[in-house]
Amino acid sequence: MGAPVERTRIRRLPDKAVREREALHAVLDAGLAAHVAFAHEGQPYAIPVAYARAGDTVLFHGSTGSRLFRHLAGGAPCCLSVTLIDGLILARSAFEASMRYRSAMILGTCTVVEDQVPALRAISEHLVPGRWALIRPPSRKELAATLVLALPLSEWSLKVSDGWPETSPDDAGWSPPTGVIPIRTVREAFIEGEA
Amino acid sequence: MGAPVERTRIRRLPDKAVREREALHAVLDAGLAAHVAFAHEGQPYAIPVAYARAGDTVLFHGSTGSRLFRHLAGGAPCCLSVTLIDGLILARSAFEASMRYRSAMILGTCTVVEDQVPALRAISEHLVPGRWALIRPPSRKELAATLVLALPLSEWSLKVSDGWPETSPDDAGWSPPTGVIPIRTVREAFIEGEA
pLDDT score for B6: 64
Query: Using CB atoms, which residue from A95, A164, A181 is nearest to B195?
Result: A164
pLDDT score for A8: 76
pLDDT score for A6: 64
Is it the case that residue B37 has pLDDT exceeding 70?
Answer: yes
With beta carbons under 8 A apart, name residues in chain A contacting B125.
none
Q: DSSP string covering A56-113, please?
A: TEEEEEEETT-HHHHHHHTT-EEEEEEEEEEEEEE-SBTTT-EEEEEEEEEEEE-EE-
What average pLDDT score do residues A50-74 get?
96
With beta carbons under 8 A apart, name residues in chain B contacting A99.
32-33, 50, 127
Share of chain A above pLDDT 90, in %: 91
Is it the case that residue A108 has pLDDT exceeding 60?
Answer: yes
Is it the case that residue B5 has pLDDT exceeding 70?
Answer: no
pLDDT score for A133: 98
What average pLDDT score do residues B153-158 get?
97
Q: Higher pLDDT residue, B9 or A138?
A: A138
With beta carbons under 8 A apart, name residues in chain B contacting A39.
39, 44
Contact B107 A186 (CB under 8 A): no
Chain B residue closest in CA terms to A64 = B12
Q: What residue ranges define each of the domains in chain A, with the CATH number in brackets?
A: 12-160 (2.30.110.10)
Contact A178 B194 (CB under 8 A): yes
pLDDT score for B4: 41
Name beta bridge partners: A96. Answer: none
Is it the case that residue A3 has pLDDT exceeding 50?
Answer: no
pLDDT, averaged across chain B: 94
pLDDT score for B15: 80
Contact B46 A35 (CB under 8 A): yes
Contact B178 A164 (CB under 8 A): no
Helix (H, G, I), strand (E, B) or coil at B42: coil
What are the tens digits of pLDDT across the range A122-151?
A: 999 999 999 999 999 999 999 999 999 999
What average pLDDT score do residues A84-92 get?
98
User: Is omega for the bond preceding A137 within 30 degrees of 0, making it cis?
Assistant: no
pLDDT score for B7: 76
With beta carbons under 8 A apart, name residues in chain B contacting A93.
135-138, 142
Query: Using CB atoms, which residue from B11, B105, B192 is nearest to A177?
Result: B192
pLDDT score for B9: 73
Question: Which helix or strand (DSSP H or E) is residue A103 part of?
Answer: strand A98-109
Chain A residue closest in CA terms to B72 = A44
* Predicted TM-score of the model (pTM): 0.95
Contact A46 B36 (CB under 8 A): yes
Q: Euclidean distance between the first and final Cα of chain A, in Å?
A: 47
With beta carbons under 8 A apart, name residues in chain B contacting A5.
none
Q: DSSP string covering B96-116, please?
A: T-EEEEEEEEEEEE-EE-SSH
Contact B193 A138 (CB under 8 A): no
